[in-house]
Structure 1
């Protein structure tokens, strides 16, 4: 259940924030929020940092295949545990959030600029990064627990 709740909340926050930005800001407009963060409204028809421009709908298809893969491996039981649920929930929510933009608009709304020269992103992009982080932690935890179990078995 945690997986679905996180994915749904990410999609709702992502889509809501993008709509607010497109309603209240002009394309290309920028204003500081904090010394490390500014809102800069851009439309991206490619992928990260504008790579491969013009392929937004192709990347939407990739996102759909990615989400299907996550759902498949979850159903098989290969992605289990609280950390993995959190990680995959963030990943799927982020992928769906950006896929909706790519399918409906043909571009992705980006507006979060952290520091200088680091590109502009959105909530879905942040969620994907958070998801990857949780999955790495889950894999490390699984690896460590697998290494500890055989050592305890030998001591018995």
Structure 2
């Protein structure tokens, strides 16, 4: 249940935030939020991460579908169990679906979050994907860390 709830909340929050940005900001407009640490800048990315592969973003919707299918396959096999992997896979799937929705409907992804003066621009789906990836890394490190700590 944690997987489905997490994925659904990510999709709703991501699509809601993107709708608010598209509805209330002009393309290229910047709104400082937190004294230089965070700003909203409305940008449409027709590529992938770091604005690479501009114009080929719709192909990444296919990658997202394959990724989501793989997660469901491994969940069905029982490979993705436990709260950490449930949350991680929910964040990853929610983020992939959130950006895929943009790619299919708009042929580009709405980005708007800029952290710091040198940060890239991203959206809530990207943050969810990053958080999900970190949780997967934590899961992978959990057993080796337990063994190291047990030796002490």
- TM class by smaller structure: over 0.9
Matched, 1:9 2:20: no
- What displacement does 1:23 show? 0.2
State the distance in 1 between where 2:13 and 2:64 align: 18
Structure 2 gaps of 5+ residues are none
Query: Partner residue of 1:126?
Result: 127
Which structure 2 residues correspond to residues 47-62 of structure 1 after superposition, within 5 A?
47-62=48-63
Instruction: Determine which structure has more spread, i.e. the larger CA radius of gyration.
Output: 1
Which structure 2 residues correspond to residues 81-100 of structure 1 after superposition, within 5 A?
81-100=82-101
| CA-atom RMSD in angstroms | 1.3
- What displacement does 1:29 show? 0.2
SS at match of 1:34: coil
The normalised TM-score by structure 2 is 0.93
State the distance in 2 between where 1:91 and 1:143 align: 23
SS at match of 2:33: strand
Query: Partner residue of 1:33?
Result: 33
Query: Partner residue of 2:113?
Result: 112
Query: Partner residue of 2:138?
Result: 137
Query: Partner residue of 1:103?
Result: 104
SS at match of 2:65: helix
- What displacement does 1:144 show? 4.2
- What displacement does 1:142 show? 3.6
Q: How many residues align?
A: 148
